[in-house]
């Protein structure tokens, strides 16, 4: 049973992450330039406003957050603090791009991709931000980097370039932080939703939010469709697992660019939704800096 957790009215809700120590769900509204901190137990929602768009966030090992902003990454030392730049402003000379989806690996590195508004050009890329502030370009040729997630043992990396309707898998060298062996994991047919943000559960299954697809799907470690969860919104954006047993799925969504008729059919677009799952998710890794 899918429930509306928070009728947030976000323009582009994204990047939900469960903070186990605080028992709160952190997430962003990219176009709204906001970071949210939601307490599912009581429905309270704190909001931090930023001066620029924020593509994704993750908790830091030393407290606070790492955030991927429009041009580069930043550290937020505590709730409400002004983000301080961390690492190079890699997109400063690319006004058509901004940072988007990201995921922290077991070594405390943030894998974060960009997107380009100049579609169908393939100028966006996937990067790896290390705890020392170095930023490494992993590969390019992308339009919208999305769906970053790791297998439970950290040796497989999943990634989607949303407009291609395709999810790829790569072999990871955990020590070096490199990828090899690109292969097709799952290809979605066109016209029924595109793969957006994602998360992996304890059985190694990959859950993908389908933009314009009204649903979340669970894929086996071999890419087989196992489960579909229908949602009351057209544009789910990403899923995260949380709660005391990591068996609550939280889903963000987008409410922007809807017609009056579309909005009438989905009055809670831009909200955060929740449903129970039988298999728990994985513990959210923390960024090392």
Cβ distance 236 to 208 under 8 Å?
no
Show the tokens assigned to 116: 């380009």
- pLDDT value at position 118? 87
CA separation for the pair 88, 247 (Å, rounded) = 37
Whether pLDDT at 140 is above 80: yes
* Residue in 196, 201, 245, 276 annotated catalytic: 196
Cβ distance 71 to 91 under 8 Å?
yes
Mean pLDDT, the chain, integer: 97
How many residues are recorded in the chain? 289
Rounded percentage of the chain residues whose pLDDT exceeds 90? 97
What are the pLDDT digits (tens) for 258-275? 888 999 999 999 999 999
CA separation for the pair 104, 89 (Å, rounded) = 19
Which residues, 6 or more positions from 45, have their beta carbon under 8 angstroms from its beta carbon? 6, 8, 36, 37, 38, 39
Sequence-ordered alpha helix ranges (H) in 196-280: 260-265
Q: What phi and psi, each to the nearest 5 degrees, are found at residue 264?
A: -65, -35
More confident residue, 130 or 257: 130
**DSSP category for residue 263:** H
Complete domains list, the chain, with CATH:
3-276 (2.120.10.30)
Whether pLDDT at 206 is above 90: yes
Whether the model clears a pTM of 0.85, i.e. scores above it, the answer is yes
> Is 196 designated active site?
yes
Cβ distance 128 to 179 under 8 Å?
no
Helix (H, G, I), strand (E, B) or coil at 236: strand
């Amino acid at each position: 049973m899918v429930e509306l957790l928070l009728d947030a009215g976000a323009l582009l809700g994204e990047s939900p992450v469960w903070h186990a120590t605080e028992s709160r769900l952190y997430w962003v509204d990219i176009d709204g330039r906001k970071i949210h901190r939601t307490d599912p137990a009581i429905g309270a929602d704190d909001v931090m406003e930023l001066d620029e768009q924020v593509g994704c966030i993750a908790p830091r090992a030393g407290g606070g957050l790492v955030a991927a902003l429009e041009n580069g990454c930043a550290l937020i030392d505590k709730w409400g603090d002004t983000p301080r730049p961390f690492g190079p402003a890699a997109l400063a000379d690319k006004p058509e791009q901004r940072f988007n989806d990201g995921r922290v690996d077991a070594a405390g590195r943030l894998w974060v991709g960009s997107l380009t508004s100049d579609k169908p050009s393939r100028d966006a890329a996937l990067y790896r931000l290390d705890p020392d502030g170095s930023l490494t370009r992993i590969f390019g040729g992308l339009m919208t980097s999305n769906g970053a997630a790791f297998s439970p043992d950290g040796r497989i990396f999943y990634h989607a370039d949303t407009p291609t309707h395709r999810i790829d898998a790569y072999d990871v060298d955990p020590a070096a932080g490199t990828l090899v062996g690109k292969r097709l994991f799952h290809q979605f047919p066109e016209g029924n939703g595109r793969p957006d943000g994602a998360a992996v559960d304890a059985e190694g299954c990959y859950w993908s939010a389908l933009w314009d697809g009204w649903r979340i799907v669970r894929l086996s470690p071999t890419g087989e469709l196992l489960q579909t969860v229908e949602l009351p919104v057209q544009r789910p954006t990403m899923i995260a697992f949380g709660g005391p047993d990591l068996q609550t799925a939280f889903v963000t969504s987008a409410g922007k660019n809807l017609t009056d008729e579309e909005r009438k059919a989905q009055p809670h677009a831009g909200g955060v939704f929740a449903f129970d799952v039988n298999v728990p998710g994985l513990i959210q890794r923390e960024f090392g800096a």
